[in-house]
């Protein structure tokens, strides 16, 4: 299985357009590398690719990735489908940017599919341009994604959170609203766990991490009080927690748990613009490196 980290920043990207925090200022000064919004792509062989989420930066991400070069026909593309972990805008707005492409398949958990049809209306908008196949990714049920040549990956949606997007606050859909995906290659046995939004460390998640070769995990905030400290905003730690992202550090942080999983490649993604881990020269980045945990740049590719 081939994997490309197309984008590794949280919603708004890095630097964020309306932010002059220390990290965004350092990025604009060329001291820290910019990042686009979180999205990955997976493929059994490289002949057909499946996006996992569709960020608002998806056009730039596809154009800058050699694996997505169109051809051989004038309208041929290796993009075969999209898997959605949640219904948040920073993971679904890119669907509108893909409207030129026909024949795509989109998989989404039930609540996410409901929101994109009834609360946000993306499905109806896209249908006016191209016909796509929309599939339900039932939590806990394994299904296949198949590239044009017939090679396949096995996928399971794993419920991790009930945090719904703000636009769906009055939605009649029942959760889970956020899922992780376990993706495996039946030929090589390689397995990936992708969880860019994790409100807490769910029961049984340790076993999932131990059972894969690589976990790409929510690293939005380094600390539970990061945003008010970095921006001087009125957002407090409680409100930051309600955004649905477990912090990296602290007794309830994810890094403490990841220390025990040295047999799994551990990668942080969805890094917020305030997160000091973005700076490779920071003590916080060194803390990760000391235990073998990564925060790689956009465009990082690997095989499992």
pLDDT over threshold 60, residue 236:
no
Q: Report d(CA 126, CA 196) in Å as an integer.
A: 25
Mean pLDDT of 65-88: 95
pLDDT over threshold 60, residue 235:
no
Mean pLDDT of 89-98: 97
Task: Residue 162: count other Cβ atoms within 10 Å of its Cβ.
Answer: 13
Please write the tens of the pLDDT for every residue from 258-301.
999 999 999 999 999 999 999 999 999 999 999 999 999 999 99
Q: Report d(CA 77, CA 71) in Å as an integer.
A: 6
Give the whole-number percent of the chain exceeding pLDDT 70: 95
- The residue ranges of every structural domain in the chain are 2-303
Query: CA torsion angle for 268, 154, 91, 70 (degrees, to 10)?
Result: 100
Mean pLDDT of 209-232: 89
Mean pLDDT of 15-26: 97
pLDDT for the residue numbered 232: 61
Mean pLDDT of 209-216: 98
Q: Report d(CA 266, CA 216) in Å as an integer.
A: 6
- The pTM assigned to this predicted structure is 0.95
Maximum CA extent, the chain? 54
Report the CATH superfamily, name and number, of domain 2-303: Ribonuclease Z/Hydroxyacylglutathione hydrolase-like (3.60.15.10)
- Sheet-wide strand order for 301-303: 133-136, 105-108, 79-83, 49-52, 39-43, 2-7, 301-303
pLDDT over threshold 70, residue 245:
yes
Q: Which residues of 46-56 are buried (b: 16+ CB within 10 A; e: fewer)?
A: eebbbbbbbbb
Please write the tens of the pLDDT for every residue from 167-199.
999 999 999 999 999 999 999 999 999 999 999
Is residue 252 very low, low, confident or very high in pLDDT (cuts 50, 70, 90)? confident
Tokens 């700076």 map to which residue? 279
Please write the tens of the pLDDT for every residue from 126-154.
999 999 999 999 999 999 999 999 999 99
Give the whole-number percent of the chain exceeding pLDDT 90: 91
């Amino acid at each position: 299985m081939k994997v490309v980290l197309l984008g590794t920043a949280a919603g708004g990207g890095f630097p964020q357009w309306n932010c002059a925090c220390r990290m965004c200022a350092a990025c604009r000064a060329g001291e820290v590398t910019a990042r686009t919004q979180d999205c990955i792509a997976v493929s059994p062989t490289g002949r057909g690719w499946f996006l996992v989420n569709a960020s608002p930066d998806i056009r730039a991400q596809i154009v800058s990735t050699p694996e997505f070069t169109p051809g051989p026909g004038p309208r041929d593309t290796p993009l075969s489908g999209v898997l959605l972990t949640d219904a948040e805008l920073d993971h679904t707005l890119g669907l509108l940017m893909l409207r030129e492409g026909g024949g795509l398949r989109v998989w989404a958990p039930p609540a996410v599919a409901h929101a994109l049809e009834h609360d946000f209306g993306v499905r109806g908008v896209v249908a006016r341009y191209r016909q796509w196949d929309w599939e339900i990714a039932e939590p806990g049920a394994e299904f296949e994604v198949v590239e044009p040549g017939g090679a396949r990956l096995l996928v399971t949606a794993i419920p991790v959170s009930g945090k719904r997007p703000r636009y769906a606050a009055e939605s009649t859909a029942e959760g889970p609203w956020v899922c992780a995906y376990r993706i495996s290659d039946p030929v090589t046995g390689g397995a990936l766990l992708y969880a860019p939004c994790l409100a807490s460390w769910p029961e049984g998640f340790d076993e999932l991490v131990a059972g894969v070769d690589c976990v790409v995990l929510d690293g939005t905030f380094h600390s539970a009080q990061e945003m008010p400290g970095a921006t001087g905003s009125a957002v407090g730690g409680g409100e930051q927690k309600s955004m649905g992202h477990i912090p990296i550090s602290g007794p309830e942080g994810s890094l403490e748990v990841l220390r025990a999983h040295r047999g799994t490649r551990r990668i942080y993604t969805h890094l917020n613009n305030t997160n000091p881990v973005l700076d490779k020269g920071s003590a916080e980045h060194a803390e990760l490196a000391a235990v073998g945990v990564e925060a790689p740049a956009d465009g990082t590719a690997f095989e499992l």
